[in-house]
């Protein structure tokens, strides 16, 4: 009988017990500045927030050198190559290049016919 009473009493006790914790256990500690963000800010400061404009001729030379390698460029790519402001490059490109809106080379710039070093005829495709 005593054994039966012990089993009933044991079954009545809760399996999970609440424990009082004096100090909270923190697995993740938030940081104000992560290492990646610090490196990104450092490189941004090294490059300079504002880029000074180079002379128009120097930028045109850099653009022509870029177009010797490829026929079509996006404005962002030319900005990365020349390291000049977008508005300044767009101002130069409107004089020397054509903006394509047709699907094969959409949103890309191509040199005007008088500035090209290569000749492309209509009946034969350009070799690469």
User: pTM of the full predicted structure?
Assistant: 0.56
Set out the domains of the chain in order of their start, with CATH numbers: 56-115 (1.10.10.10)
Tell me the C-alpha to C-alpha distance, in Å, between residue 95 and each of 69, 70, 89, 124. Answer: 20, 19, 10, 28
Q: What is the per-residue pLDDT for 128?
A: 45
Q: pLDDT 10s digit of each residue in the chain, 128 long?
A: 999 999 999 999 998 988 888 888 778 878 888 899 999 888 887 766 566 788 999 999 999 999 999 999 999 999 989 989 899 999 999 999 999 998 899 999 999 989 887 655 444 455 44
Question: Residue 88's closest CA among 115, 116, 113, 51?
Answer: 51
For residue 99, give the 3-state DSSP assignment: strand
H helix or E strand, kind and range, residue 8: helix 2-12
């Amino acid at each position: 009988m005593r054994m039966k009473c012990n089993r009933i009493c044991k079954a009545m006790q809760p399996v999970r017990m609440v424990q009082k914790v004096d100090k909270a256990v923190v697995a993740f500690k938030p940081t104000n500045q992560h290492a990646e963000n610090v490196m990104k800010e450092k490189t941004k400061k090294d490059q300079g927030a504002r880029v000074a404009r180079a002379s128009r001729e120097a930028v045109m030379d850099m653009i022509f050198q870029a177009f010797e390698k490829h026929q079509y460029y996006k404005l962002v790519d030319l900005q990365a190559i020349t390291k000049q402001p977008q508005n300044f490059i767009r101002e130069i490109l409107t004089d020397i290049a054509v903006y394509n809106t047709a699907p094969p080379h959409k949103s890309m710039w191509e040199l005007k016919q008088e500035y090209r070093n290569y000749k492309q005829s209509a009946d034969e495709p350009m070799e690469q």
